[in-house]
Homo-oligomer: A and B are copies of this chain.
Amino acid sequence: MFPKFLRSTLPSMKESPGVVDLLGVLAYAELSAYARMTEDAATLAPSLADRAALSELAVTEYAHFRLLRDRLAELGADPDAAMTPFVGALDAWHAQTRPTDWLQALVKTYVGDGIALDFYREAARLLDPSIAKLVDEVLVDEGRSQFAVERVRAAIEAHPAEAGRLALWARRLVGEALSQGQQVASARPELALLLMESQQEGHTDISRLFAKLTEAHNKRMAAMGI
């Protein structure tokens, strides 16, 4: 911990208060994803091997949470205080997108992970080098949710009627995420400003960032064959 007047002189401390918000929202996103994926694995997996495979991803999310929390502490921020403003929106997203079967759980894992990775990439573009390193560590695990893609593709090939149902589900996942994101953006203007700056094109319209996220989402949908 550093006295407040010293913090702004720390070489790794970015001036914008939006940085702590960004690390805080990502930290709680990882902590809550870990808990939800663990529960989905325990209650929806068709076999113990599948349960272990999804639990493995959940534990990886927890490891990312640990990196983010430690980074917040190194920056002199209180991790709990940094996460608290985002608990409501992320818990609401999970409550509104509770999967009812294994395929929905896999699609949610891949979609949720994907949106988080998009945010990490934004973060890497604009934050200091030590945070870029953290982002690199997280992105190393990017391929891990590939197993979800393969399972969903195989299920759709075997039962083509599943495609429509899962497409609707994915649309709901991203729709609820954008809706929660809009509320977060208006409640945390500094975070919104930080993410808009990262677009580096002079646009200050949050809908531009959302359009970008939606485009990335559509690519992921195509990868799953839905």
Residue ranges of A at the interface with B (Cβ–Cβ < 8 Å): 28, 31-32, 34-35, 38-39, 41-42, 47-49, 51-52, 55, 58-59, 62-63, 65, 69, 79-80, 83-84, 87
- Provide the residues of chain B in CB contact with A63, threshold 8 Å: 59
25 contacts between A and B (CB under 8 A): A28-B48, A31-B51, A31-B52, A31-B55, A32-B42, A34-B38, A34-B55, A35-B38, A35-B39, A35-B41, A35-B42, A38-B38, A38-B39, A38-B58, A39-B39, A48-B79, A48-B83, A48-B84, A48-B87, A49-B79, A52-B65, A52-B69, A55-B62, A59-B62, A59-B63
Q: How many copies does the complex hold?
A: 2
Closest chain B CB from A42 CB (angstroms): 4
Complex formed: what's the CA distance from A50 to B127 in Å? 29
Complex formed: what's the CA distance from A73 to B62 in Å? 26
Complex formed: what's the CA distance from A84 to B49 in Å? 11
| Chain B residue at minimum C-beta to C-beta distance from A60 | B59
Closest chain B CB from A92 CB (angstroms): 15
| Chain B residue at minimum C-beta to C-beta distance from A47 | B80
- Provide the residues of chain B in CB contact with A84, threshold 8 Å: 48
Closest chain B CB from A93 CB (angstroms): 14
- Provide the residues of chain B in CB contact with A83, threshold 8 Å: 48
**9 closest A-B pairs (Cβ-Cβ)?**
A35-B42, A38-B38, A48-B80, A59-B62, A35-B38, A59-B59, A49-B80, A48-B83, A39-B39
